[in-house]
Amino acid sequence: MVQAVRSQPTFEPAADADPGAAAWITRLPRPLAGAPRGPLAGLQFAAKDNIDVGGVPTTAGCPAFEYTPGEHASVVQRLLDAGASVLGKTNLDQFACGLNGTRSPYGPVPNAFDPRFISGGSSSGSAHVVATGQADFALGTDTAGSGRVPAGLNNIVGLKPSRGLVSARGVVPAAQSIDCVSIFAGSVGLAARVLAAAAGPDPLDPYSRRLALAGRPYPASFRFGVPDALPFFGDRLARAAFEQAIVRLRQLGGTPVPVDHAPLAKAAELLYDSALVAERYAAIRGFFDGREDAVLEPVRSIVAGGCGYSAADYCEAQTRLRILGQAADRMWDRIDVLVVPTTPTHYTIAQLQADPIALNRNLGAYTNFVNLLDYAALAVPSSIRPDGLPFGITFVGRCGSDWQLADLGQRYHHATGLTQGATGRPLPGAAAIAGLAPAASVQLAVVGAHLSGMPLNGQLTERGARLLRVAETAPDYRLYALPDTTPAKPGLVRVAAGGGAPIALELWEMPLEHYGSFVAAIPAPLGIGTLRLADGSAVQGFVCEAAALAGAQDITHHGGWRAYMAALAATPASARRPAPGAT
């Protein structure tokens, strides 16, 4: 048996204790080393303590339930084989029943940003050790949102795969037919790397399955669903943060589409308010029937609530779920991805302990339906609220959309400018999502009326183009305001080396299939040529015929079209120089 440092169960941690220490149940004195080589070599991870690590006790947050497994859970073995090392086992809501992280005899796990607030559950400890930089990544489980809620509350990524994509053999079940092993990481790229190593069919897991995952990213111009009824339970900061997220999604090329929230909400209610809760009881029936007194409240009452249903009740609940699923699935005819807040609000530990049922239910407002309806999901950070607490959003996609979600989620996460968790470390560079084949595209530099926010920008976005970054030309160009153009346009001309100046531009990526129609619509004297950028690279971009410069105004000193237009707008009409070509 592996010798380990064990936390002692306690309902009230000592006043002078480090509240973050409750994140661990078992901390190994030395990491359990993985293979010397592999895609995850050098990384260290923690496992939620309902996931078996051979030779290390598994408690599921209940000391009386403790056992020591002789082998690793399938997912742990795959990660060790990929080169990662295990640091230990993390705290959780007992038997993975809860979304708040306070239902544990090992103590409540605090938020990484403010210890008065919850970390979220049930995978509270796994989220905390990633958010505080103690582990590179961590495994959680997700039945009703336990792999997403803690991510949203701690400014980290929570990847909940499609059901059955990652084996749950060696995981203490919560509701076995819908359980998922989830992944916490500081970045989407790392979470996707871990998923690539962890995924694979397992004939010894009754719910494992072979899934054909989508191999193309979502369109650059994508449609995202937003439920038409979004409760935030009075949290105005959360509502404002979600509105900001919608603005950012628009900037990334998204178009919001209202979707009916009712079938999603009604499906979520079935998880605890129908015979489906019997699966919670079935998961630990052998232990619960003899040791009910060893189970904490309110977990005890929730599990006991599953005892009184008949088989017919369960069948009726399943049928009701399918009816709601059919209604909910109609939204996919109009959208590519669903976007929801990861959680509607933050609660303090004291609030959850005082009102453990209602507030826990609130936390699952946007998560409980996902596994029931067989969707994939990815929780990503979105912003830090004015009160210093994180706000996150979740991308929800059809079963098998895991790599598509990772691609879009990574684009969104990097657009936020946030750092990783509570560590202050910047995000790493965007990573290639291994499961996706990139669509053929062309990079295009624009300098004038096609810039974002300018009159012709729609010619880019309607063709699915997306903004990559802001850049500058090499200092070998001059910019002119062309006469008699509507809307007003500049002309960019290359001159002798050193005879010009760096000119501001935007670099866009356009699907190759739409590039021809875009170029064909460009009027003379403009055209597409090769531009040299300040970093020495070359891209396709707008250029102008030199013969068109007669009567044009040299505006090179402004450094770009946007700056020129701003200066023009700020100049009194009486003092403006006549527009080129004006009579």
**Sequence-ordered list of residues with C-beta below 8 angstroms from that of 556, at least 6 positions apart, any chain:** 477, 478, 479, 480, 500, 501, 503
**Sequence-ordered list of residues with C-beta below 8 angstroms from that of 311, at least 6 positions apart, any chain:** none
The closest of 89, 97, 91 to 110, measured between CA atoms, is: 91
Residue 246 burial class via C-beta count within 10 angstroms: exposed 0-12, middle 13-18, buried 19 and up: middle
**Three-state secondary structure call for residue 63:** helix
* Cβ-based neighbour number of residue 94 at 10 Å: 28
DSSP-H helix ranges across 462-556? 512-520
SS3 content of the chain, % helix, strand, coil (to 5): 30, 25, 45
> Tokens 């596994």 identify what position?
371
Active-site residue, from 104, 122, 124, 187: 122
* Cβ-based neighbour number of residue 401 at 10 Å: 23
Residue 451 burial class via C-beta count within 10 angstroms: exposed 0-12, middle 13-18, buried 19 and up: buried
Active-site residue, from 48, 89, 160, 489: 48
**Three-state secondary structure call for residue 73:** coil
> Does the annotation count 48 as an active-site position?
yes
> Does the annotation count 266 as an active-site position?
no
**Rounded distance between C-alpha atoms, residue 264 and residue 535, angstroms:** 49
C-beta separation of 259 from 289 below 8 A: no
Across the strands, what pairs with 118? Answer: 110
Active-site residue, from 146, 187, 221, 383: 146
**Sequence-ordered list of residues with C-beta below 8 angstroms from that of 457, at least 6 positions apart, any chain:** 449, 450, 451
* Cβ-based neighbour number of residue 557 at 10 Å: 11
Two tokens at 467? Answer: 């903004």
Residues identified as active-site: 48, 122, 146
